[in-house]
Structure formats: C-alpha cells, structure tokens
Structure 1
Amino acid sequence: MDKISLQNPLFATYVIAAALMILKAVSMSWLTVVRMTQEKGGYRSPEDLRKTALNPDPNPKQLEPNERVERIRRIQLNDLESLPFFLVAGLLFVLTDPPLWLAQWLLYGYVVSRLLHFAAYLSAQTHDMRATLWTVGSLILIFMTLWALVAALHA
C-alpha cells in the first residue's frame, strides 16, 4: 500500500487532522472580519476609513485597537506559529509507519488540544489554562518529530 494514499489509514488520519487544522486557521480570518464588522472598528489601515457600503460612517477611532478584534488576531497568530510545524511533523510521523492507534491519538489529540486552546483564548481563560492546552499540543509535536528523527536515523 502506498504510504501517501487515502487508502492508507495512517495517511487518511493525517489528512483529516491537517484539513481540520487548516480550516480552523482559515476561519480565523473570517472571524476577524465578523468581529470588525460587529465592533465597527479594530481596523488597521488608513484606507479602511473611506466611506463605503460596509463603513458608511468612517471615524478615525476605528483605527484604534479594539480588544475583541485583537483577541481574534492573537489567536490567529498563535495558529500561524504552530500550524506549519504540525503539518510537517504530522506528515513525517505518518511516513514512519507508526501504529494506527498511536497516530490517531497523537494527530487527533493535537486537533483537540488546539480547539480547546481556541475556546480558552476566545473566552478569556487564564494564561495557565491556555498554556496547559498549548503544552499538550507542543509535546505532541515534539514526540512526533523525535519519532520521525529516530526512525530516519535507524533507516
């Protein structure tokens, strides 16, 4: 069976986890726009103050930071910092042909940890809570990366 095939349950597990994480990360841009529209502010560029159908009453205060918008931007930045590592580490990991149960636990565990991290950040939970959820995902990435490294060194 080809390792990079949806017929391979390991690779299919990776594809599901990766697709969920990509969709989550992309949705953050949409959530930012929704928040800016709701708040009628949190804009970043001077041209955003031009009168348009979506901004009929521009005001210079719309360029000031808005905490509800900035919170979404911070969540998105956190995603952008971690998603590339997950995509690469996950792919390298599944290419080593680990047990399916282990791949499912790690890949889906990472997805769950990131979704819980998002919920904690969005609902303004403490740093300790966010850090705990971030740590779970980070340890999963480290484990998968070391697994791939050891497999490559033994090849």
Structure 2
Amino acid sequence: MDEISLNNPVFVTYAIASALLVLKIMGQGWMTVYRMMRTNGGFVSPEDLRKTPLNPNPRPEQLELDDYVDRSRRMHRNDLENIPGFWMAGFLLVMVSPPLWLAQILMYGFVAARAAHAVAYATRQTHDVRATFYTAGSLIVIFMAFYVLATLVI
C-alpha cells in the first residue's frame, strides 16, 4: 500500500486534483443557492412555496424556470455526472503506479478541462465550445481506465 501515501507523488497529484474537484462540486451547489436567493426564485419543489423566514412572501412564480438559477443547476449536474468517474479512474491509476509526469498531465488536465467547461457554460458559450472541454475531460478519464486495464492485463 505504498501507493496510497503522501510520500507517493502520484498519490499527492491525485489528492490535489480530487480536492480541487470537491471544491468545484460543492462551490457549484453554493452558487446555485446564491442565485436562488438573489432572484428569489428558480425553486424546484412545491414545498419551497411555504412561508419561512428565508421566504416570507412565497409566490407561485418562484417555481417557474429561471435560466440564471437553472444554468448553475445544470453545471452542478454536469459535474456530478463527470467528476465521480475521474475519482475512480484516478484512484485506480494511482494503484498501478504510472510515471509522475503522465499522472500530472492526466489529472491536472482533467481539472483544467472541468474548469474550462464551467467558464464556457457560465459565459453562455455554444454547445460546440462546451463539448470541446467535455470531450477533453472525458477522453482523459477513458485513457486512465484503459491505462489501468492495460497495466493489469500485460
């Protein structure tokens, strides 16, 4: 189990990338809450229209789609669909001891791809632009999985 140690620079790379991605997911959730509070809308559940200290004047239109809020919610959902695959493939990659340079390119490359995807989504870039960054991240995770399989099979 020397692979899972702070003495292993590949594991340290994985830990740093994973921590950044945790902050990305959690931060996106908080961004959605901020946007809901700023617009006093974009709620998704009927019970959100109950009178509370945070919603003293509930209105039916608070349940209407609000693109400002929903854009953040879609970004969060996209992270939740993509980042867990990185965590698993990245952990398995650590276990097969790749060269440090390769691990750094792959892991930091994935973090950069997710950050670029978020910027593209937040600034309303076209699907083609967002898809470019999604594809880069996706191919990195796929490569990591194949690298693990190739290392274990050979």
**TM-score bucket of the superposed structures, by smaller chain:** over 0.9
Give 1:19 deviation, angstroms. 0.9
CA–CA distance in 2 between the matches of 1:29 and 1:76?
6
Identity %: 55
SS at match of 1:77: helix
CA–CA distance in 1 between the matches of 2:84 and 2:109? 17
Matched, 1:22 2:22: yes
Q: What is the Cα deviation at residue 12 of structure 1?
A: 0.5
Structure 1 equivalent of residue 79 of structure 2: 79
- 2:3 corresponds to which letter in structure 1? K
Letter in 2 for 1:25: I
* Higher mean C-alpha deviation, range 34-43 or range 22-31: 22-31
Q: Which residue in 2 is equivalent to 1:33?
A: 33
Give the Cα–Cα distance (whole angstroms) in 1 for the partners of residues 5 and 110 of structure 2. Answer: 22
Query: Which residues in structure 2 correspond to 1:96-111 (within 5 Å)?
Result: 96-111=96-111
Residues 1:47 and 2:47 aligned together: yes
How far apart, CA to CA, are the structure 2 residues paired with 1:85 and 1:47? 33
**Unaligned residue ranges in structure 2 (runs of 5+):** none
Amino acid at match of 1:50: R
Residues 80-119 of structure 1, C-alpha deviations (whole Å, 9 max, x = no match): 1111110000111121111101111110010001001001
Runs (4 or more) in structure 1 with deviation over 3 Å come to none
TM-score norm. by structure 2 comes to 0.97
Residues 116-135 of structure 1: CA deviation (Å, up to 9, x unaligned): 10010011101000000111
- Cα deviations by residue, 1:3-38 (Å, 9 ceiling, x for unpaired): 100111010100100111111011111111100001
Note the aligned Cα RMSD (angstroms).
1.0
In structure 1, C-alpha distance between the alignment counterparts of 2:78 and 2:70, rounded to whole Å = 12
CA distance, structure 2, for counterparts of residue 17 and residue 86 of structure 1: 10
2:13 corresponds in structure 1 to 13
Write the distance in 2 (CA, Å) between the matches of 1:103 and 1:137: 14
Total equivalences in the alignment: 154
Q: Determine if the alignment matches structure 1 residue 56 to structure 2 residue 56.
A: yes
